Amino acid sequence: MFPGRSVHSRCRTIGWRQFCLLPAFFLLAIRGGQIRAGQVDVITVEGAITPVTAKIVADAIRRAERFDAEALVIKMDTPGGLMEATWKIDKAILASKVPVVVFITPSGGRAASAGVYISYAAHFVAMAPSTHIGAAHPVTMGGQDSSKAMMEKITNDAVAHIKGLAEKRGRNVTWAEASVRKSVSITEKEALNLRVIDFIASDLDDLLAKLDGQKTKVATGEAILNTKGASIVPFDMSWRYRLLDKISDPNIAYILMILGIYGLFFELSNPGAVFPGVVGGICILLAFFAFQVLSINAAGLGLIFLALVFFIVEVKVNSHGLLAIGGIVSMFLGSIMLFNSPTVKVSLSIIVTAVLVTAAFFVFALGLAFRAHQRKPVTGRRGLLGEIGEALTAIDPGGKVSVHGEIWKAVSAEKIKKGDKVEVIGVEGMTLRVRWMK
């Protein structure tokens, strides 16, 4: 281009500052300018908010930070969940170095209870058409203090938390407090008018177009979003999280517990079977892991095990069905009370099916087996006890008798005449001990 000239002279010819800064401008353009479209991470949160949900959201935020994403979008549809898990999600969002956007979707979805707090913690909130948000009043947990004073303390704590989030994000403080104290709920249009949310978006592309150019404050300072035409990168849960997420479903956890009880009972009833014990043990351990995640009510679990005791006793004691009825009622109430949170509960149809199947299994199936064990043997040597036969010869003390059409040697402590009826009272080898039937 400039033969015979040094690099320094070439810089002076075209303007050494502009020439030497060209590589820096080029690198900046590639890394953060318009040449490269931004990356937006997307995670979907559906169903109840649990500790597993909190771990997944925290991991998604860390990955978005690691890859310098423009934003993390949380597509949310939730009825609520556990307060402790919700607080952890809020803390992770507040400490995030990338903007976090809550998108309440699809149409017909909601952000209720815990979803309200998470939405208020987010940097931006959007709602799809025909969705709603609200009803964030704390609900009494089973087995906890539900007195008026305690509920007031819990409510005041929740109000203080959401008011702090509202003030930090510049959202409607008055509505936030009403959502907690009065359980009010509003549609997406009302939420936009009341400054509860930032946008109404028909889909993810529409949301990213509206987010483009928006400014917000993250943990490291101010951030300007470059989301128009950004590449969307879904956050795929690892197999570990997928497994934990499935197990932490209250319906799955409940079924695992029932299967575990069946398996262990079969193993104890038939030692050495191995397979029922192995399956039952695994199911019980998985169920108790889920219970730890979901926060169970000890009273509900106790009622379920009390019901099993009632069913087993009913098999051995003739209570005319009272114990069986008590077991059914106890198991039904225990299943309903099993989980602390009203937003985390077992489907009523699964409860009814499990209760009826368990009652039928223990009362009828085990009842038949128990009665079969109690029934007098009809074959073999033990089957001869109590049978009536006829003396074929005089017995004093030995002789022969006919029992079941078979001829046996017999002995007796008393004299028995030929032709008399005799009863078998014992078997000694191939000889029967008999007595005279009067």
Active-site residue, 153 included: yes
Tokens of 145: 């203090």
Catalytic residue among 9, 107, 130, 153: 153
Cα separation, 345 vs 348, whole angstroms: 9
**Nearest residue to 125 via CA among 152, 102, 151, 156:** 102
Cα separation, 135 vs 114, whole angstroms: 9
| Dihedral, CA of residue 118, residue 124, residue 130 and residue 131, to nearest 10 | 0
Cα separation, 391 vs 395, whole angstroms: 7
Active-site residue, 88 included: no
**Nearest residue to 296 via CA among 345, 254, 249, 339:** 339
Catalytic residue among 55, 88, 113, 295: 113
Catalytic positions, written as ranges:
113, 153
